[in-house]
């Protein structure tokens, strides 16, 4: 497994990552979440061996992952990394890019493998297209396919769907995570999208102020959000009597001790998000119907 043991890293004087520790087993998916600038990309680069640590160490199956000071060539065969800014070869085709690191020794095998990979990222129709003519999202999908081509044991993905539009994102996500599980490829994904995490990740780590604020199983952290930051990752929430309550956990009722006044209603697809004034606070409630501004209602939780 991947063992991250009390690692600390700084670009200059101030640590960006402080005393982080976690493990990832073969085939497991760990999500790294945190606000922009919290160190997600830095952590992935450190795990890849792109930088030297200040403290601690990183092991994959008991082999230490070393930084440039101790390792001439960055990276290892068992590990692949797809950066936020992926670099492809623009003047050759999609299939050539994807097959770039596959052996030419068995051309039929290679062709079959590339076809399978293009199916995972839904680019079969673009096999012969030159990469330079693709959109940002399509390029990102080529980069993903290329990274999994040689079946690494572990893959590091930095916001892997950030350039991909909503039309494609859902099915691509399902394909990719299913593929990685089937092939028992461990993955660590930096993301700020809960959709990348819930339903897929086995574990998650929340970075805040250079440290791990919380780590655990997504479903458990979702059901029992211990801090406002983790709650805000999952959805709209309120703090009522020092308790974190999601907007969909508040219910509008005939009568209760809690009285509020509607400020604004927002349609969100499945229902309405009602913004309301409760005492001196603004609260958010999900409701099936639109309410009029100024309307008074009671709620419970």
Tokens in use for 30?
Answer: 């760990």
Tracing tokens 């394909």 back to the chain, one arrives at 175
Residue 37: contacted member of Mg ion, ligand ADP, none (CB under 5 to 8 Å, by partner type): ligand ADP
Give the nearer residue to Mg ion in terms of CB position, either 41 or 265.
Answer: 41
49 binds, among Mg ion, ligand ADP, none (CB under 5 to 8 A by kind): none
The residue ranges that bind Mg ion (CB under 5 A) are 40-41
**Which partner in ligand ADP, Mg ion, none is near 16 (CB below 5 to 8 A by kind)?**
ligand ADP
Q: How far is CA 32 from CA 72, 123, 208, 258, 269, in A?
A: 28, 27, 11, 37, 28
Residue among 37 and 107 whose Cβ is closer to ligand ADP: 37
Residue 116, CB-side half-sphere exposure with 13 Å CA sphere: 12
User: What's the CA gap between 236 and 238, in Å, rounded?
Assistant: 7
How near is the Cβ of 22 to ligand ADP at its closest, in Å? 16
Q: At closest approach, how far in Å is the CB of 135 from Mg ion?
A: 21
d(CA 279, CA 258): 9
Q: Which is nearer to ligand ADP, 11 or 91 (CB)?
A: 11
CA distance 116 to 114: 5
Give the dihedral of Cα atoms 166, 170, 172, 177; nearest 10 deg: 140
**Minimum distance, C-beta of residue 122 to Mg ion, in the bound complex (Å):** 25
Which positions lie near ligand ADP, rule CB under 6 A? 11, 16, 34, 36-42
Nearer to ligand ADP, 39 or 225 (CB): 39
Among 235, 260, 257, 267, which Cα is nearest to 248's?
A: 235
Q: Is 100 exposed, middle or buried (0-12, 13-18, 19+ CB in 10 A)?
A: middle
Q: Which is nearer to Mg ion, 41 or 210 (CB)?
A: 41
**Cα torsion 217, 222, 224, 227: sign:** positive
Nearest-approach distance from CB 60 to Mg ion, in angstroms: 22
Q: Quick one: what does residue 36 bind among Mg ion, ligand ADP, none, with the CB cut-off 5 to 8 Å set by partner type?
A: ligand ADP
Which lies closer to Mg ion via its Cβ, residue 41 or residue 275?
41
**Residue 38 partner contact from ligand ADP, Mg ion, none using kind-dependent CB cut-offs of 5 to 8 Å:** ligand ADP
């Amino acid at each position: 497994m991947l063992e991250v043991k009390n690692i600390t890293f700084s670009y200059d004087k101030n640590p960006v990552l402080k005393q982080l520790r976690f493990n990832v087993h073969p085939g497991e998916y760990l999500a790294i979440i945190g606000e922009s600038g919290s160190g997600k990309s830095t952590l992935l680069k450190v795990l890849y061996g792109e930088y030297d640590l200040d403290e601690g160490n990183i092991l994959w199956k008991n082999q230490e992952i070393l930084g440039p000071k101790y390792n001439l060539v960055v990276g290892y065969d068992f590990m692949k990394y797809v950066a936020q800014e992926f670099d492809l070869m623009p003047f050759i085709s999609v299939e050539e890019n994807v097959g770039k690191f596959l052996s030419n020794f068995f051309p039929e095998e290679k062709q079959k493998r590339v076809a399978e990979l293009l199916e995972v990222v839904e680019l079969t129709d673009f096999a012969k297209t030159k990469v330079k003519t693709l959109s940002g999202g399509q390029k990102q999908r080529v980069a993903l396919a290329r990274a999994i081509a040689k079946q690494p044991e572990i893959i590091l993905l930095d916001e892997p769907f950030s350039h991909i539009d909503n039309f494609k994102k859902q099915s691509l996500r399902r394909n990719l995570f299913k593929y990685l599980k089937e092939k028992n490829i461990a993955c660590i994904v930096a993301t700020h999208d809960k959709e990348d995490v819930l339903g897929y990740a086995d574990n998650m780590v929340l970075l805040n102020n250079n440290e791990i604020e919380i780590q655990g199983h997504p479903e458990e952290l979702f059901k029992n959000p211990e801090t406002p930051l983790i709650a805000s990752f999952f959805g709209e929430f309120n703090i009522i009597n020092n308790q974190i309550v999601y907007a969909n956990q508040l219910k509008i009722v005939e009568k209760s001790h809690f009285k509020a006044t509607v400020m604004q209603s927002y349609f969100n697809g499945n229902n309405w998000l009602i913004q309301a004034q409760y005492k001196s606070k603004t609260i958010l409630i999900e409701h099936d119907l639109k309410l009029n501004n100024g309307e008074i209602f009671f709620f419970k939780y």
